[in-house]
Amino acid sequence: MYCANEKRYDGMIYNYCGKSGLRLPAISLGMWHNFGTNDVYSNMEEMAYTAFDLGITHFDLANNYGPVAGAAEENLGKILDKSMRVYRDELCISTKAGYDMWPGPYGDKNGSRKYLTSSLDQSLKRMKLDYVDIFYHHVFDPNTPLEETALALDNAVRQGKALYVGVSNYNSEQTKEISKIFKELKTPFIINQIEYSMLNRWIEDDGLKDTALQNGIGLIAFCPLKQGLLTDKYLVDIPDDSRVGRGSTWVGDSLTSEMITKLKSLNEIAQNRKQSLAQMALSWILRDGRITSVLIGASKPQQITDNCMAIHNNKFTDEEIKKIEKILL
């Protein structure tokens, strides 16, 4: 029977999520990959235990994480049942809805009240939870009035099925618009989950960092290691068990000679900082305090342990920043 590390909170940093009273760990665990249908259950357990023992209190899911939709939520439910449900009040569990989920017009990619309400009910059943801590709309839907999406999320809070709400993959303008509605409704809208990394910096050009700060919203970054590109996996060769080795086309297509040169140059800076490339990439995201948390994915427990070391070296010199910016141009 799993028993959590008594010192689990000693080494983690917890940041307030926007202007809310909710604090999230600087490193959160995403269950997009490696917690689904084709994965080894015992490894999922060990990753969840390792994360919690390191002070990672936030587990992030979505209705469609699988690859069979719902599988990741079901597996988390099993892990909770076996030995972690006793720690429920110490966990922040989030899920999302917005992408294709079930056949027909009510389960396809959208933001309707019908879809969001039904999906959250299904998610709670799969995880055997009375509520989630954060419920997100997963992707902006141009075909549904924003008021309808906002009211559906607000209703989830009023029904006691979610404590807070968020959005994901919303740009600056979309975030501003839905934030106005939430302020009128007095909905606890606290977070936007976006892709952000050294190799994907769209939120900087978009102005989303400033928008989030002005509206009291936290930001949490997914794909902070760009699906493994910002690790030491591809500095020498292509491992068979890597995404590229397993045939992930888009990751492989990104691994050009120019990209490998960039990664090697970044790795030199990381080594001088006594960090791995992955640790530096995570530290870089957290460097200015504008990102509440980074969502890491992992295929083995040791990766979680290694990534958590990033929080102990988040400061960069001006010279380091200049070198990194030159490489990333």
Q: Which domains are delineated in the chain?
A: 14-226+280-314 (3.20.20.100)
Using left for φ > 0, alpha for ψ between -120 and 50, and beta otherwise, residue 315 falls in beta
> Whose CA is closest to 111, among 124, 121, 97, 101?
97
Q: What is the pLDDT of residue 236?
A: 74
Q: What is the pLDDT of residue 242?
A: 58
Q: How open is the CA angle 296-273-54, to the nearest 5 degrees?
A: 35
CA distance 79 to 280: 31
Predicted TM-score (pTM) above 0.85 = yes
The residues near 68 (Cβ < 8 Å, ≥ 6 apart) are: 36, 37
- What letter would DSSP give residue 197? B
Q: Is-contact 305 27, C-beta < 8 A?
A: no
Average pLDDT over every residue of 95-121: 98
The 10s digit of each residue's pLDDT in 142-196 is: 999 999 999 999 999 999 999 999 999 999 999 999 999 999 999 999 999 999 9
Statement: residue 96 has pLDDT above 60: yes
194 half-sphere exposure, CB direction, 13 A CA radius: 27
CA distance 65 to 11: 29
Statement: residue 252 has pLDDT above 80: no
Average pLDDT over every residue of 254-258: 85
List the single range of 67-81, 196-210, 254-268 with lowest mean pLDDT: 254-268
Q: Which residues of 245-276 are buried (b: 16+ CB within 10 A; e: fewer)?
A: eeeeeebbeebeeeeeebbeebbebbeebebb
CA distance 310 to 308: 5
Q: How confident is the model at residue 250 (pLDDT cuts 50, 70, 90)?
A: low
How many other CB atoms are there within 10 angstroms of residue 62's CB atom?
26
Residue 325 CA to chain centroid, in angstroms? Answer: 24
How many other CB atoms are there within 10 angstroms of residue 221's CB atom?
22
Statement: residue 141 has pLDDT above 90: yes
CA distance 311 to 54: 12
- What letter would DSSP give residue 168? E
Mean pLDDT, the chain, as a whole number? Answer: 95
Statement: residue 249 has pLDDT above 90: no
Average pLDDT over every residue of 248-269: 85
- Tell me the residue type at 209: K
Statement: residue 241 has pLDDT above 90: no
- Tell me the residue type at 159: Q
Average pLDDT over every residue of 89-103: 98
> Whose CA is closest to 146, among 117, 167, 118?
167
CA distance 12 to 23: 12
Q: What is the pLDDT of residue 254?
A: 79
What percent of the chain shows pLDDT beyond 70? 95
Helix (H) or strand (E) holding 254: helix 249-254
> Whose CA is closest to 301, among 111, 121, 48, 72?
48
* Cα pseudo-dihedral 95, 98, 99, 105, rounded to 10: 130
> Whose CA is closest to 146, among 173, 164, 107, 120?
173
Statement: residue 238 has pLDDT above 80: no
Q: How confident is the model at residue 205 (pLDDT cuts 50, 70, 90)?
A: very high
The 10s digit of each residue's pLDDT in 21-33 is: 999 999 999 999 9
Q: Which has the higher per-residue pLDDT, 285 or 238?
A: 285
